[in-house]
Amino acid sequence: MTKPILPGEVAAAVINPVAYGQWEPLHEQLAWARANAPLAVAENPNHDPFWLVTRHADIMAISRDPQRFANGIRPTVLTDRDGEALARAATPNNDGHLIRSLVQMDAPDHMKYRLLTQSWFMPKNLKIVEERIREIARDTVDHMLEAGGECDFARDVAAHYPLRVIMDILGVPPEDEPRMLMLTQQLFGPTDPELNRSREAITSAEQAIAMLNYVIADFENYFGALTADRRANPREDIATVIANAMVGGEQIPDRELAGYYMIIATAGHDTTSASTAGAMMELAKNPALFERFRSAESDKAGLIEEAIRWTTPVQHFMRSAKEDVEIGGQTIHAGDWLMLNYVSGNRDEEVFTDPFAFDPDRVKNQQIAFGFGAHVCLGQHLARMEMRILMEELLPRLKSLELAGEPARVESVFVGGLKRLPLHFRTH
């Protein structure tokens, strides 16, 4: 059977950071794919072909089958041909993973490593840190309100709060947070000239890899020192758990150790910043919603779940087929590469009524922004809790909320969201 091939403009859009920055036109292309070619191959210059997976059901089916759809074989985030070749040349065993974290692992390593910290991120344990998170939220809100009736919520508020929470839980002191913020933005958004290290457009794979290697080396130096400290002076933080963890009777090797810190330190904030800023944007655009949710008694759960669906901060992850598989009426062959496009899955008309409406009252919101299956987001309960606490602390203190200028999105195919959200507000 021949493979269905996507029209060039759809294939080009799903790999183009600028398209993710513009957002609306990208949604048109994805809606076309869901209706006409939900599982079809994207062919682009200098990129290996990959299956673009746009339907919620197919994303779920692939995610729930890690035995046949692996993370460790090919890059887990879209990379062009030169980039993958360079990354392979730059990594041990030529595996091409500049970082080896939970995301890049398959069985049996994946579960062994995941279980080291999983209980930390479960709702029961998170209750222990709830009061601490509330203090950080209050402090964040005080800062925002003290600064007067206007702010760039994405830059001045949303970018800092989840960072402070995750750093607190991890055990990184507040004075090191700006360095962590800069490194994460460089790791996740290196294609956006406003965020990357050289503040210039990245035009070659060599440039991209060189920049990522700088960023990774910075992280490794930092966490190397933290590990030495926590082995000598254990504390009640995740750094202590990771630094002293044993896998197969031995301490974690250096590469996996650095990868572990990096995934916790980075996955936990730009993502939650994006969903938090997205929620505020919708409240600023819709006075009735704002009135409803600023009441201290209002239940924020539906607002938060819908903001996570609406923003879909992690826009894709890649998988690689380990064997031939029939799925969605197509035959995927061993070695094929697939893009799970969560942005599309979260607007799937077959799962969500009126998917392009922001509706906090969805009865059973099956948003797939946290992925699914063995790799499902480790921090999903933390992300929801952080957002709820910030909304509880912030909204009742506001009397009005409006947009004060044009919002702008990050230009990145991987972690996306608002980089600018000018807001005007009044307090009591």
Q: Which residues bind ligand HEM (CB under 6 A)?
A: 63, 102-103, 114, 166, 263-264, 267-268, 271-272, 275, 308, 313-314, 317, 342, 369-373, 375-379, 382-383
Quote the least distance from Cβ 376 to ligand HEM, whole Å. Answer: 5
The residues, any chain, with a CB within 8 Å of residue 32's CB and separated by 6 or more, are: 7, 10
Quote the least distance from Cβ 143 to ligand HEM, whole Å. Answer: 21
Q: Are 1 and 329 in contact (CB under 8 A)?
A: no
For ligand HEM, which is the closer residue by CB, 193 or 373? 373
CA angle 230, 386, 78 (to 5 degrees): 80
C-beta nearest to ligand HEM: residue:
379
For ligand HEM, which is the closer residue by CB, 43 or 95? 95
Q: Are strands 337-341 and 50-53 parallel, antiparallel or unpaired?
A: parallel
For ligand HEM, which is the closer residue by CB, 205 or 413? 413
Distances (CA, A) of 115 to 121, 126, 172, 371, 410: 11, 16, 22, 18, 33
Quote the least distance from Cβ 45 to ligand HEM, whole Å. Answer: 28
Quote the least distance from Cβ 166 to ligand HEM, whole Å. Answer: 6
Quote the least distance from Cβ 162 to ligand HEM, whole Å. Answer: 7
Quote the least distance from Cβ 370 to ligand HEM, whole Å. Answer: 5
For ligand HEM, which is the closer residue by CB, 366 or 400? 366
For ligand HEM, which is the closer residue by CB, 75 or 313? 313
Amino acid letter, 233: N
Query: CA-based Rg of the chain, rounded to a whole angstrom?
Result: 21
For ligand HEM, which is the closer residue by CB, 47 or 375? 375
Give the residue among 20, 34, 8 at the shortest CA–CA distance from 78.
Answer: 20
Quote the least distance from Cβ 375 to ligand HEM, whole Å. Answer: 3
Q: Are strands 150-152 and 246-247 parallel, antiparallel or unpaired?
A: unpaired
Quote the least distance from Cβ 198 to ligand HEM, whole Å. Answer: 28
**What does the chain come to in residues?**
428
For ligand HEM, which is the closer residue by CB, 63 or 196? 63
Residue 299 has phi, psi (to 5 degrees) of: -80, 125
Residue 288 has phi, psi (to 5 degrees) of: -65, -40
- Tell me the C-alpha distance between 420 and 428, whole Å: 25
For ligand HEM, which is the closer residue by CB, 106 or 197? 106
For ligand HEM, which is the closer residue by CB, 73 or 369? 369
Quote the least distance from Cβ 263 to ligand HEM, whole Å. Answer: 5
- Tell me the C-alpha distance between 337 and 362, whole Å: 33
Quote the least distance from Cβ 2 to ligand HEM, whole Å. Answer: 29
- Tell me the C-alpha distance between 417 and 408, whole Å: 8
For ligand HEM, which is the closer residue by CB, 86 or 185? 185
Q: Which two tokens stand for residue 270?
A: 């730009």
